Amino acid sequence: MKLIIIINMKQKSYEIFIPGPAGRLEGKYYKNPKFGSPVAIVLQPHPQYGGTMNNRIVQLMYNIFLENGFSVIKINFRGVGKSDGVFDNGQGELSDAAAALDWIERENMDYSQCWVSGFSFGALICMQLIMRRPEVNNFIAISPQPNVYDFSFLAPCPTSGQVVYSDNDELVTKESINELDNRIKSQKGVEVIFSKIKGANHFFKDKEKDLKEEIEKYIKEKTALI
Protein backbone atom coordinates (compact mmCIF):
# COMPACT_ATOMS: atom_id res chain seq x y z
CA MET A 1 0.00 0.00 0.00
CA LYS A 2 1.39 3.40 -0.94
CA LEU A 3 1.64 6.18 1.63
CA ILE A 4 -0.57 9.15 0.75
CA ILE A 5 0.54 12.52 2.09
CA ILE A 6 -1.33 15.84 2.11
CA ILE A 7 0.82 18.75 3.28
CA ASN A 8 -0.53 21.48 5.53
CA MET A 9 2.25 24.08 5.43
CA LYS A 10 0.62 26.41 7.95
CA GLN A 11 0.71 23.82 10.72
CA LYS A 12 3.88 22.15 9.41
CA SER A 13 2.13 18.80 9.72
CA TYR A 14 1.23 16.11 7.22
CA GLU A 15 -2.16 14.52 6.82
CA ILE A 16 -1.26 10.92 6.11
CA PHE A 17 -2.65 7.50 5.36
CA ILE A 18 -0.46 4.63 6.53
CA PRO A 19 -0.82 0.86 6.10
CA GLY A 20 -2.70 -0.76 8.97
CA PRO A 21 -3.82 -4.32 9.79
CA ALA A 22 -7.39 -3.62 8.60
CA GLY A 23 -6.51 -1.29 5.72
CA ARG A 24 -5.31 2.27 5.65
CA LEU A 25 -5.18 4.39 8.80
CA GLU A 26 -5.79 8.12 8.68
CA GLY A 27 -3.36 10.21 10.67
CA LYS A 28 -1.54 13.46 11.18
CA TYR A 29 2.24 13.62 11.37
CA TYR A 30 4.92 16.14 12.16
CA LYS A 31 8.59 15.39 11.49
CA ASN A 32 11.13 17.30 13.50
CA PRO A 33 14.04 18.16 11.18
CA LYS A 34 16.67 17.83 13.91
CA PHE A 35 18.79 14.67 13.76
CA GLY A 36 18.12 12.30 16.66
CA SER A 37 14.78 13.82 17.64
CA PRO A 38 12.60 11.66 19.90
CA VAL A 39 9.40 10.14 18.47
CA ALA A 40 5.92 9.89 19.99
CA ILE A 41 2.46 8.58 19.17
CA VAL A 42 -0.82 9.93 20.58
CA LEU A 43 -3.87 7.63 20.84
CA GLN A 44 -7.52 8.70 20.72
CA PRO A 45 -10.37 8.09 23.20
CA HIS A 46 -13.12 5.50 22.65
CA PRO A 47 -14.43 5.44 19.06
CA GLN A 48 -17.94 4.41 20.09
CA TYR A 49 -18.31 7.47 22.32
CA GLY A 50 -17.28 10.01 19.72
CA GLY A 51 -13.53 9.69 20.15
CA THR A 52 -11.28 10.66 17.22
CA MET A 53 -7.75 11.89 16.70
CA ASN A 54 -9.24 15.41 16.58
CA ASN A 55 -10.26 15.22 20.25
CA ARG A 56 -9.01 18.37 21.96
CA ILE A 57 -6.93 16.49 24.56
CA VAL A 58 -5.33 14.40 21.82
CA GLN A 59 -4.59 17.59 19.87
CA LEU A 60 -3.17 19.18 23.02
CA MET A 61 -0.83 16.21 23.50
CA TYR A 62 0.16 16.28 19.84
CA ASN A 63 1.04 19.97 20.08
CA ILE A 64 3.02 19.46 23.31
CA PHE A 65 5.19 16.83 21.69
CA LEU A 66 5.62 18.93 18.55
CA GLU A 67 6.61 22.01 20.57
CA ASN A 68 9.12 20.00 22.63
CA GLY A 69 11.20 18.70 19.76
CA PHE A 70 9.50 15.41 18.90
CA SER A 71 8.46 13.85 15.65
CA VAL A 72 4.87 12.90 16.45
CA ILE A 73 1.94 11.03 14.93
CA LYS A 74 -1.71 10.68 15.89
CA ILE A 75 -4.11 8.32 14.13
CA ASN A 76 -7.77 7.51 13.80
CA PHE A 77 -8.32 3.92 14.86
CA ARG A 78 -9.99 1.53 12.40
CA GLY A 79 -13.46 2.62 11.37
CA VAL A 80 -12.96 6.21 12.57
CA GLY A 81 -12.91 9.11 10.13
CA LYS A 82 -11.26 7.97 6.92
CA SER A 83 -9.58 4.91 8.46
CA ASP A 84 -10.62 1.54 7.04
CA GLY A 85 -12.13 -1.27 9.10
CA VAL A 86 -14.57 -1.47 12.01
CA PHE A 87 -14.25 -1.15 15.78
CA ASP A 88 -12.65 -4.24 17.33
CA ASN A 89 -13.14 -3.84 21.10
CA GLY A 90 -9.53 -2.87 21.73
CA GLN A 91 -7.66 -5.78 20.19
CA GLY A 92 -7.62 -4.39 16.67
CA GLU A 93 -7.01 -0.88 17.99
CA LEU A 94 -3.88 -2.15 19.76
CA SER A 95 -2.68 -3.50 16.41
CA ASP A 96 -3.43 -0.11 14.83
CA ALA A 97 -1.34 1.62 17.49
CA ALA A 98 1.52 -0.81 16.88
CA ALA A 99 1.33 -0.07 13.15
CA ALA A 100 1.59 3.67 13.87
CA LEU A 101 4.60 3.07 16.09
CA ASP A 102 6.24 0.91 13.42
CA TRP A 103 5.64 3.62 10.85
CA ILE A 104 7.08 6.55 12.82
CA GLU A 105 10.11 4.48 13.80
CA ARG A 106 10.80 3.66 10.15
CA GLU A 107 10.44 7.33 9.24
CA ASN A 108 12.88 8.32 12.00
CA MET A 109 15.56 5.64 12.14
CA ASP A 110 17.83 7.99 14.11
CA TYR A 111 15.34 8.63 16.94
CA SER A 112 16.80 9.10 20.44
CA GLN A 113 13.73 8.21 22.53
CA CYS A 114 10.38 6.53 21.89
CA TRP A 115 7.24 7.70 23.71
CA VAL A 116 3.65 6.40 23.68
CA SER A 117 0.68 8.39 24.96
CA GLY A 118 -3.10 8.16 25.01
CA PHE A 119 -6.24 9.67 26.47
CA SER A 120 -9.00 7.67 28.22
CA PHE A 121 -9.53 4.53 26.08
CA GLY A 122 -6.32 5.57 24.35
CA ALA A 123 -4.54 5.39 27.72
CA LEU A 124 -5.52 1.71 27.96
CA ILE A 125 -4.16 1.00 24.47
CA CYS A 126 -1.04 3.03 25.32
CA MET A 127 -0.30 0.91 28.40
CA GLN A 128 -1.04 -2.33 26.57
CA LEU A 129 1.35 -1.28 23.81
CA ILE A 130 4.27 -0.65 26.15
CA MET A 131 3.99 -4.27 27.30
CA ARG A 132 4.77 -5.39 23.75
CA ARG A 133 7.39 -2.86 22.72
CA PRO A 134 10.65 -2.89 24.71
CA GLU A 135 12.03 0.08 22.77
CA VAL A 136 9.52 2.45 24.43
CA ASN A 137 11.36 4.74 26.87
CA ASN A 138 8.39 6.56 28.40
CA PHE A 139 4.61 6.76 28.35
CA ILE A 140 1.95 9.32 29.27
CA ALA A 141 -1.48 7.91 30.13
CA ILE A 142 -4.17 10.56 30.55
CA SER A 143 -7.45 9.72 32.33
CA PRO A 144 -7.07 5.93 32.40
CA GLN A 145 -10.14 4.03 33.64
CA PRO A 146 -8.95 1.16 35.86
CA ASN A 147 -12.51 0.80 37.22
CA VAL A 148 -13.71 0.03 33.68
CA TYR A 149 -10.76 -1.83 32.15
CA ASP A 150 -8.51 -4.48 33.68
CA PHE A 151 -4.95 -3.17 34.10
CA SER A 152 -3.62 -6.32 35.76
CA PHE A 153 -1.55 -6.92 32.61
CA LEU A 154 0.92 -4.39 34.05
CA ALA A 155 2.80 -7.19 35.76
CA PRO A 156 5.28 -5.71 35.87
CA CYS A 157 5.04 -2.30 34.19
CA PRO A 158 8.02 -2.39 31.78
CA THR A 159 8.92 1.28 31.60
CA SER A 160 8.71 4.53 33.50
CA GLY A 161 6.00 7.02 32.69
CA GLN A 162 3.36 9.48 33.83
CA VAL A 163 -0.30 8.89 34.67
CA VAL A 164 -2.36 12.09 34.66
CA TYR A 165 -5.76 11.95 36.35
CA SER A 166 -8.49 14.30 37.57
CA ASP A 167 -9.59 14.58 41.17
CA ASN A 168 -13.21 15.15 40.07
CA ASP A 169 -13.33 12.51 37.34
CA GLU A 170 -16.98 11.54 36.93
CA LEU A 171 -16.07 8.33 35.09
CA VAL A 172 -13.25 7.01 37.28
CA THR A 173 -13.26 6.14 40.97
CA LYS A 174 -10.48 7.47 43.18
CA GLU A 175 -10.12 4.00 44.71
CA SER A 176 -9.29 2.46 41.33
CA ILE A 177 -6.63 5.11 40.64
CA ASN A 178 -5.09 4.54 44.07
CA GLU A 179 -5.05 0.78 43.47
CA LEU A 180 -3.32 1.27 40.12
CA ASP A 181 -0.79 3.61 41.73
CA ASN A 182 -0.06 1.14 44.54
CA ARG A 183 0.29 -1.78 42.14
CA ILE A 184 2.88 0.01 40.03
CA LYS A 185 4.73 1.52 43.01
CA SER A 186 5.36 -1.94 44.39
CA GLN A 187 7.43 -2.77 41.31
CA LYS A 188 11.18 -2.19 41.20
CA GLY A 189 13.14 -0.57 38.41
CA VAL A 190 10.48 1.80 37.07
CA GLU A 191 9.17 5.16 38.21
CA VAL A 192 5.61 6.04 37.25
CA ILE A 193 4.53 9.51 38.33
CA PHE A 194 0.83 9.97 39.17
CA SER A 195 -0.06 13.61 38.51
CA LYS A 196 -3.39 14.94 39.82
CA ILE A 197 -5.14 17.87 38.14
CA LYS A 198 -7.22 19.59 40.80
CA GLY A 199 -10.79 20.58 40.04
CA ALA A 200 -10.80 18.79 36.68
CA ASN A 201 -13.30 16.34 35.25
CA HIS A 202 -12.53 13.39 32.97
CA PHE A 203 -12.18 15.67 29.97
CA PHE A 204 -10.22 18.45 31.75
CA LYS A 205 -12.82 21.06 30.92
CA ASP A 206 -11.37 24.51 31.66
CA LYS A 207 -8.21 22.85 32.98
CA GLU A 208 -6.27 22.44 29.74
CA LYS A 209 -3.60 24.90 30.89
CA ASP A 210 -2.96 22.94 34.09
CA LEU A 211 -2.86 19.70 32.12
CA LYS A 212 -0.36 21.11 29.63
CA GLU A 213 1.91 22.42 32.37
CA GLU A 214 1.97 19.07 34.18
CA ILE A 215 2.77 17.11 31.02
CA GLU A 216 5.38 19.57 29.76
CA LYS A 217 7.16 19.52 33.11
CA TYR A 218 7.45 15.74 32.87
CA ILE A 219 8.57 15.73 29.23
CA LYS A 220 11.22 18.42 29.76
CA GLU A 221 12.63 16.53 32.73
CA LYS A 222 12.88 13.24 30.83
CA THR A 223 14.30 14.71 27.61
CA ALA A 224 16.78 17.13 29.22
CA LEU A 225 19.74 14.82 28.57
CA ILE A 226 19.01 14.14 24.88
Whether 58 has a pLDDT exceeding 70, the answer reads yes
Across residues 180-190, what is the average pLDDT?
88
Across residues 201-206, what is the average pLDDT?
97
Whether 5 has a pLDDT exceeding 80, the answer reads no
Which is more confident, 224 or 5? 224
Whether 8 has a pLDDT exceeding 60, the answer reads no
Q: Say what the pLDDT of residue 3 is.
A: 56
Q: Which domain holds residue 118?
A: 4-223
- Between 138-147, 163-172, 186-195, the lowest mean confidence (pLDDT) is in 186-195
Q: How confident is the model at residue 186 (pLDDT cuts 50, 70, 90)?
A: confident
CATH number at residue 49: 3.40.50.1820
Q: Say what the pLDDT of residue 226 is.
A: 65
* Total domains present in the chain: 1
Q: Say what the pLDDT of residue 168 is.
A: 95
**Structure letter (DSSP) for residue 34:** S
Across residues 215-220, what is the average pLDDT?
98
CB-side neighbour CA atoms (13 Å) of 179: 13
- CA 85, distance to chain mean position in Å, is 21
How does the average pLDDT of the chain come out, rounded?
Answer: 94
Across residues 181-192, what is the average pLDDT?
89
Selection from 31, 14, 66, 44 nearest residue 219 by Cα: 66
Q: What is the pLDDT of residues 66-106, one digit of tens each?
A: 999 999 999 999 999 999 999 999 999 999 999 999 999 99
Selection from 192, 177, 202 nearest residue 139 by Cα: 192
Q: Say what the pLDDT of residue 4 is.
A: 54
Q: What SS3 string covers 117-179?
A: EEECHHHHHHHHHHHHCCCCCEEEEECCCCCCCCCCCCCCCCCCEEEEEECCCCCCCHHHHHH
